[in-house]
Structure 1
């Protein structure tokens, strides 16, 4: 895309355009500051507890392996599967009450989990923890997306910069949370749970004090007919399918990647280092990548580039598998997959979230934000089952990775045409 001359009468230069490298953070509204810091705190509190849940259930409580897996699956379902309900509640009742209720339920869930010993108590507490996220996450994510549009329309630059900052904050929390949880586990799991609850007490207090009762420009949607319109919105459903293909690829960090790491090294010790590599890449590079893509690419091209990079990550492993490398050399294709997946994620996740307000009908940003997660989560559920079957099928070792490479590559063809082409010039 050719950039117009600086004195073009159709693209007047704004202060943000003159200073493209100014820091995004200092131009954000107080509400966006609150919401982005909220995402950081959410993930610190969450990841201080949940990565250690499976071991606690299996060793301290003595649950069977199948029951541990069932509990973890219930947590995912109660969160991702119910996002659409949380989004609907946000549109109907507003951001503040839904966030406050979600935080209160998360506090209760973590406290209950810390003391739960019987399987029924563990299951109920985990369901409560998941449902809490299904409330506050669509509320925060949809309002960040809406505020990012306002930020863009005020001439500060592409909305993806705000959403990239939001993603980076969440990833920083996902990196810090397990470190905090590991320190607290030196005492016991209950201490980690109570510390996680304490983080959400602070978030609840902060929102009760700082979140406005009514956010300017956000109107409550009382018409109950939004779901029918959503199911008829082909462009949005296509976006969900494309985004779901990315989430399926990301889920291979927990399914196909451990299998590859164990094949190469004989253990899964190196897995934590690859996870740390992914988190640090997002924390350090998300904003520069989004600034670069926002200045040059519209939303569709950002998602296209991201999906193709994800596909390339799988293709790297597929190409290396016939050689049968082991040891450090055997880890290089896996590391290449992690890097390409993460860079692809940095391109496509802010773009997908930025696209939702364009496609949401009748001001139902909450409903559509929740539906993006719920529909994509269903795709991951089906796709992960198929991937597990493929990995166990005994086919040539490169085949599962080639199939996984084809999924995001084909998803590019599903991307809808953007209703508005967003670029630096138009944002100015």
Structure 2
């Protein structure tokens, strides 16, 4: 399969209607998200006049209500099925964006933002669980490598992340409320499409001989005893902490080497564009060449190289060279790590618990990011190339934690 537009269309056709719908849902989810959220801080601090600390609190609460509660969405997915949880997430996101567009008081803003975040905590784990199941099914029945299916899913999400801020900028001409309502419309379209086109799960042949609470407790206990999964969570957390430096270390580096952050938007757009254009051909090459564990290790090694290069390279090309190399290597590493981890996850979890494991992966790694953000920020305050070399230890530690692959 080729990596061009024709190859993408051919791949989508080969995967069937359900998987195509899930990939398009991932695209639309990010499109609706990035129509609004990149401009939330400016709206809160500018139009609503909230203090900077309060803006930070609101943004932090949104992140917690989303990333921190992924494990809840995953557990509900196992209990009620991906379709129901995704529909509930869409409905809550529509309500949240509509509320946010009309929110003026501090408590109203906080309530709407929490609702927006919790909606994603329902929707995203359910979507990721179902696309992982479909990827395994295609691998078994159609001989399509699961990393290729998951690569298409990642590519679709990044396309939404690339287009969303551009569309959001245009919509902001009509005010922040217009962007919020447009985001709500996007999720309304997803809701209708999923309700009409996503098949309901097949009924279970026999009821489980345990109560839901007992089942949930046993699932969590099983998860906590799964050392290989927990090691993968920590390794993935090191990747997320490293990737977050696109939004923390990179702006500081551009300010240091060029005197401004003008190039930041272009750098972030380059990262998204690389995923959109390069994910499918890279996934195709990796699928038959290495195991999921090897893909994760190589990705973390490239990310380690990204930080090392940023600290070692001279500030050529107007001071942009270190930042440019950092973005390119970090993005290629991302294109290996994410599909590798997502493709590996079904092999580490009982299929009945796949939602719980999918949500726990995001929640545990989110805790790693939360705990590591303040120390990395303090490290960056020291400035200079030494901070980049020290940050290279983050993905390197993750590399050492990746468990061995088992067939």
TM-score by shorter chain over 0.5: yes
Pairing of 1:78-93 with structure 2 (within 5 A):
78-93=65-80
1:192 corresponds in structure 2 to 179
2:266 to 269, 273, 289: 273
Q: More displaced, 411-420 or 298-307?
A: 411-420
2:253 corresponds in structure 1 to 260
Retained in 2: the 8 A contact 1:91–1:220? no
2:374 corresponds in structure 1 to 385
How many residue pairs match? The answer is 395
| Residues 111 and 280 of structure 1: CA distance in aligned 2, closer, same or farther (over 3 Å) | same
| Residues 25 and 197 of structure 1: CA distance in aligned 2, closer, same or farther (over 3 Å) | same
1:8 corresponds in structure 2 to none
2:190 to 203, 208, 226: 203
2:138 corresponds in structure 1 to 151
2:232 to 234, 239, 242: 239
| Residues 252 and 215 of structure 1: CA distance in aligned 2, closer, same or farther (over 3 Å) | farther
1:71 corresponds in structure 2 to 58
* Matched position secondary structure for 1:408: helix
Retained in 1: the 8 A contact 2:258–2:318? no
2:242 corresponds in structure 1 to 249
TM-score (norm 2): 0.94
| Residues 219 and 140 of structure 1: CA distance in aligned 2, closer, same or farther (over 3 Å) | farther
How big is the shift at 1:220?
9.0
Pairing of 1:3-18 with structure 2 (within 5 A):
none
2:4 corresponds in structure 1 to none
* d(CA) in 2 for partners of 1:384, 1:200: 31
* d(CA) in 1 for partners of 2:207, 2:392: 42
Aligned: 1:300 with 2:293 = yes
2:302 corresponds in structure 1 to 309
1:6 corresponds in structure 2 to none
How big is the shift at 1:417?
1.6
1:11 corresponds in structure 2 to none
Aligned: 1:97 with 2:90 = no
* Matched position secondary structure for 2:288: helix
Describe the superposition over 1:110-133 as per-residue Cα deviations: whole angstroms up to 9, x where unpaired.
000000000100010000000000
2:359 to 362, 370, 375: 370
1:175 corresponds in structure 2 to 162
| Residues 195 and 398 of structure 1: CA distance in aligned 2, closer, same or farther (over 3 Å) | same
| Residues 215 and 137 of structure 1: CA distance in aligned 2, closer, same or farther (over 3 Å) | farther
How big is the shift at 1:410?
2.5
How big is the shift at 1:179?
0.9
| Residues 219 and 335 of structure 1: CA distance in aligned 2, closer, same or farther (over 3 Å) | farther
More helix by share: 2
How big is the shift at 1:218?
11
CA RMSD of aligned residues (A): 1.8
* d(CA) in 2 for partners of 1:191, 1:147: 36
| Residues 278 and 58 of structure 1: CA distance in aligned 2, closer, same or farther (over 3 Å) | same
* d(CA) in 2 for partners of 1:199, 1:301: 37
Q: More displaced, 102-111 or 261-270?
A: 261-270
Aligned: 1:226 with 2:215 = no
* d(CA) in 2 for partners of 1:215, 1:282: 35
How big is the shift at 1:263?
0.7
TM-score (norm 1): 0.89
- Residue segments in structure 2 that go unaligned for 5+ positions in a row: 2-6
| Residues 219 and 137 of structure 1: CA distance in aligned 2, closer, same or farther (over 3 Å) | farther
* d(CA) in 1 for partners of 2:75, 2:156: 25
| Residues 410 and 188 of structure 1: CA distance in aligned 2, closer, same or farther (over 3 Å) | same
* d(CA) in 1 for partners of 2:34, 2:240: 19
* Matched position secondary structure for 1:418: coil
- Residue segments in structure 1 that go unaligned for 5+ positions in a row: 1-14, 16-20, 421-428
